[in-house]
Amino acid sequence: MKLLTFLAGVSAVAALNNGVARTPPMGWLSWERFRCNIDCKHDPSNCISENLYMRMADIIAAEGYKEAGYQYVCIDDCWLSKSRDSNGRLQPDPDRFPHGMKALADYVHSKGLKLGIYEDVGAETCARYPGSRGHYQTDAQTFAEWGIDLLKFDACNINPEDFDEGYRQMGFYLNQTGRPILYSCEWAIGEIMHRRQANYTAILEVCNTCRNTVDITDQWKSVLNKVNNYAKDSGNFSKIAGPGGWNDPDELVIGDFSLSPDQERTQMALWSMWAAPLIMSVDLRNMRPESKSLLQNKGVIAVNQDPLGIPGTVRLTMRKVSVWTRPILPKGSLAVVVFNSQSGGAPLNVSVPVHRLINGNALDYLITDTFTGSKLGKLTYHQDLTVRVNPTGVVMVTMTPA
């Protein structure tokens, strides 16, 4: 195959250091799977309520997810009452969260996990519940008093010229509380949706995670859209991320309804290569064994959580195949993903010269299948890495100096 494109590697930079998110956060979020289902009368098992989040916390703690690294149980939009209380403070819907947010946080903490919550930089949330504009200090203090550990801060119902002020103010007041609250921002995607260039450097000086693509849906074309966005790397956002501040392509839809097994492996592999948050959005009560095993895969998660914190990028492309590389520890090692974007046809045999993958000295490399941990052998600087890749699938290996 003819080599069409070659892109150099990147180096990590310092991002926000507020004591959290030194590696990409891992957890669960309700949005993609459960949306804004508030009909607890007719659908009590799936509505946005304290019972849903308690049950997900139970499963994360009991079924291996916590041991794999998933920590955050995150609430999204529609948890709120339609109005603030008489003191101007946010309050949860009393019917769906009858014991209040402090009690829910205590329950989640009792499982050894952390609780995330949702709000909006504007006057209203996307679903038209009370937003934080004009109440940033009060809301930050309220979240701290409730024991919240993560704030997802959306970008609806505000003038885009006010994004900077709103996101900076909430970040300031969160830090003023003295509680370590991971700050997950939708600032960049808000700018992009208004056809403005996001300033990733400025954003990751304020935020721990930076959403930079539109909402994901449970469809392969949506996942592929994220892959294409990260391949383009518009604004060089990959060069900005690092410990304390991570780019966020949105949730994992592994275990839902639409992706094939190969496509689920592709999402897990590339999100890990990008040093993206691994935030599941799936009904953990009804998991296929293979999807559950993939979400808990130790080798792939180790790449995602690599302490160097250098996001992976496209190293080269060969027609429908893209090859992604990410520097990892131990020093001189590399994670490699070969992705076949073809949606049909037979698997492809792909050969990639080792010297096109690495920077530095000519070394021998031990090759390990990242998914299985199997040792695949040793390659020299002058040999080829040869793999067979299914349509819409990946092969993922780690290369370690011999």
Beta-bridged to residue 117, according to DSSP, are 151
Cα-based torsion angle of the residue sequence 393, 249, 307, 329 in order, rounded to the nearest 10 degrees: 30
How far apart, in whole angstroms, are the C-alpha atoms of residue 154 and residue 143? Answer: 16
Cβ neighbours for 379, distance < 8 A, ≥ 6 positions apart: 354, 364, 365, 367, 385, 399
DSSP, residue by residue, 49-80: SHHHHHHHHHHHHHSSHHHHT--EEE--TT-B
How far apart, in whole angstroms, are the C-alpha atoms of residue 44 and residue 27? Answer: 23
Check whether the bond before 353 is cis (ω within 30° of 0).
Answer: no
How far apart, in whole angstroms, are the C-alpha atoms of residue 216 and residue 250? Answer: 6
H or E element, residue 253: none
DSSP-derived letter for residue 332 is T
Amino acid at 182: L
Q: Is 1 helix (H, G, I), strand (E, B) or coil?
A: coil
H or E element, residue 302: helix 298-304
Instruction: Let me know: does 182 contact 115? Beta carbons within 8 Å.
Output: no
Give the HSE-up count for residue 64: Cα atoms under 13 Å, Cβ half-sphere. Answer: 9
Q: How many other CB atoms sit within 10 Å of the CB of residue 283?
A: 18
Instruction: Let me know: does 294 contact 267? Beta carbons within 8 Å.
Output: no
- State the residue for tokens 């009560």: 285
Active-site residue numbers? Answer: 154, 215
No. of helices (H) and no. of strands (E), the chain? 12, 17
Q: Taking the mean position of all CA atoms in its chain, how far away is CA 25?
A: 7
Nearest by Cα to 188 from 207, 175, 177, 203: 203
Q: Is 5 helix (H, G, I), strand (E, B) or coil?
A: strand
